[in-house]
Amino acid sequence: MNQSEQPGRLRTWLGDARPEIVPLFAVNEHLEVATWVRSGTSPRRMLRRSQLMEEAIVSIVEKGLRQDDWHGLLYIMGWGDLPGFRPLYVGKAGKRGVKNPISENLKNLAVDKTKFARWGDGLAYHIGDLSQVLFRWQAYRPPQQKYEKWAEMLFVERDPPHLREKVNLALIPWYSSSVGPAGRQLSLEDAENELISLASHEFSDILLNVQGEKLCRPASADTARAPQTVGKKPLHIISDGKALEVLVGELEKCELVGLDVETCMRTQRLCLIQIATEQFIAIIDALAICDLSLLARIFGSEKIVKIIHNATFERGVLRSVGLELAAVFDTLTASRRIRGKQPDGHSLAVVARRELNCDMDKTLQTSDWTRRPLTRSQIGYASLDADVLIDLYKVFNSFSTGRLL
């Protein structure tokens, strides 16, 4: 039984708590999130909350403020619905403020959406900071770093914003008599901490909480010997400096390579570098090899085309370990330029299906890439992400007459 099928303590408790589960964002049938422009001296493009979400929060808060034993609101952002709900972030909006009997986060929600129980459009609030990360507008301060991780987890494409899966919000009003997962009456703050701890244990691969988060041992996984071929190509796992030196010598003979990386979802630390050629595929264990500088001969070469989907991400990750990219062909840019606006977007899985009739299972994208040994499924997933890029290059190159994008 896999994680999505197991009831677990958190899901069992949620079933008993009977939260109101509503869609977080206003989306169309293709999971593209609607946006709007916040007017002012510096107009800002914002993600739009769903009407159901807004109505539910206003109703819960207005009712709660009329009751003396109401302590505030617990919320859990996640994928899916009960009984298979998968939590991504646990938080709270307490009734009492730091200086006032009623928190500023809960005042006048029906007319003021700036704070909106922590889901407001202002800075230091979830929707505002996440919108700033996605659409790169400037404000008096940058968003907290955690929202970059939110964006990477929630969206397969940032502009237009396409969700990986539909995102829901589980809303739980908290009273003096409310009972946490351990069966004890808790304050709102203690309930939040208990839920974060439990979610960190049961959903360590995807939970986005930072403060109070516990890094737990990964869920059990198939750790069979790595496959030595992917499709018809030999596969090489590179985990020491000597093997890396041999690989670089082989790559210098190539005219083009497919390039992808896998990172830790929480820290964006580089975990794997996948390189596909016409003859073989190599997976470089960036956690096992301390010095990756030999790869500069490949990545910085103007003679070797690096094929990447959404090269902006790879550039940032590789720059963090001292590697710069030259001669890049970006298949995301190529797809957007050649195909124009598409209702299903331009994520790698969508583009591979559209151009190559190739179905890519992206469920492992958010798996724990720091875990060793890697599972067979992880290795297969990582290999295909690089290998498919070569075929996409051949398709798009026929349109672009060899121009790097």
> pLDDT tens for residues 269-301?
999 999 999 999 999 999 999 899 999 999 999
Q: What integer best gives the mean pLDDT of the chain? A: 87
Q: pLDDT band at residue 400, thresholds of 50, 70 and 90?
A: low
What 3-state class would DSSP assign to 20?
Answer: strand
Tell me the residue range of the domain where 360 lies: 229-400
**pLDDT at residue 40 is higher than 90:** no
HSE at residue 395, side-chain half, CA atoms within 13 A, is 19
**344-355: average pLDDT:** 89
Q: pLDDT band at residue 5, thresholds of 50, 70 and 90?
A: very low
What 3-state class would DSSP assign to 342?
Answer: coil
Do both 195 and 276 map to the same domain?
no
Do both 195 and 124 map to the same domain?
yes
Do both 136 and 67 map to the same domain?
yes
**pLDDT at residue 203 is higher than 50:** yes
CATH of the domain at 273: 3.30.420.10
Determine the Cα–Cα distance for residues 6 and 29; give it in Å rounded to an integer.
28
**368-383: average pLDDT:** 87
Do both 249 and 194 map to the same domain?
no
Q: For the whole prediction, is pTM greater than 0.75? A: no
Residue at which a domain ends, from 186, 202, 218: 202
**pLDDT at residue 402 is higher than 50:** no
Nearby residues of 252 by Cβ (< 8 Å), 6 or more positions away: 297, 298, 301, 304
Determine the Cα–Cα distance for residues 55 and 34; give it in Å rounded to an integer.
17
Domain count, the chain: 2
Q: Has residue 94 been placed in a domain?
A: yes
**307-323: average pLDDT:** 94
Token readout for 364 is 């492992």
**pLDDT at residue 224 is higher than 80:** no
**pLDDT at residue 230 is higher than 50:** no
Q: At 283, which amino acid appears? A: I
- Cα–Cα separations (whole angstroms), residue 90 to 58, 124, 184, 194, 219: 19, 16, 19, 10, 20
Is the Cβ–Cβ distance between 199 and 207 less than 8 Å?
A: yes
**pLDDT at residue 23 is higher than 60:** yes
Q: Has residue 244 been placed in a domain?
A: yes
Is the Cβ–Cβ distance between 48 and 27 less than 8 Å?
A: no
**383-393: average pLDDT:** 93
β-pairing verdict for 281-285 and 233-238: parallel
Q: pLDDT band at residue 188, thresholds of 50, 70 and 90?
A: very high
**33-38: average pLDDT:** 95
For a pLDDT cut of 90, what percent of the chain falls above it? 64
**pLDDT at residue 90 is higher than 60:** yes
Instruction: For residue 90, report the phi and psi dihedrals to the nearest 5 degrees.
Output: -115, 130
Q: Has residue 271 been placed in a domain?
A: yes
Do both 238 and 103 map to the same domain?
no
β-pairing verdict for 270-276 and 281-285: antiparallel
- Give residue 141's pLDDT: 79
Q: Has residue 405 been placed in a domain?
A: no
Do both 251 and 366 map to the same domain?
yes
- Give residue 210's pLDDT: 66
Q: Has residue 220 been placed in a domain?
A: no
Beta bridge partners of 274: 260, 283
**pLDDT at residue 404 is higher than 70:** no
- Give residue 342's pLDDT: 85
Q: How do residues 99-138 score in pLDDT, each as one tens digit? A: 788 999 999 998 999 999 999 999 889 999 999 999 999 8
Determine the Cα–Cα distance for residues 185 and 15; give it in Å rounded to an integer.
17
Q: Has residue 207 been placed in a domain?
A: no
**368-397: average pLDDT:** 89
Instruction: For residue 236, report the phi and psi dihedrals to the nearest 5 degrees.
Output: -120, 125
- Give residue 144's pLDDT: 79
- Give residue 388's pLDDT: 94
Q: Has residue 1 been placed in a domain?
A: no
Q: Has residue 217 been placed in a domain?
A: no
Do both 71 and 198 map to the same domain?
yes
- Give residue 7's pLDDT: 59
- Give residue 225's pLDDT: 37
Do both 72 and 122 map to the same domain?
yes
Is the Cβ–Cβ distance between 207 and 86 less than 8 Å?
A: no
Do both 184 and 249 map to the same domain?
no
Is the Cβ–Cβ distance between 383 and 281 less than 8 Å?
A: yes
Range 335-349 burial, b when 16+ CB lie within 10 A, else e: bbeeeeeeebbbbbb
Instruction: For residue 76, report the phi and psi dihedrals to the nearest 5 degrees.
Output: -130, 115
Q: pLDDT band at residue 266, thresholds of 50, 70 and 90?
A: confident
Determine the Cα–Cα distance for residues 83 and 340; give it in Å rounded to an integer.
39
Do both 147 and 275 map to the same domain?
no
E strands, 219-367, in order: 229-230, 233-238, 256-263, 270-276, 281-285, 305-308, 328-330
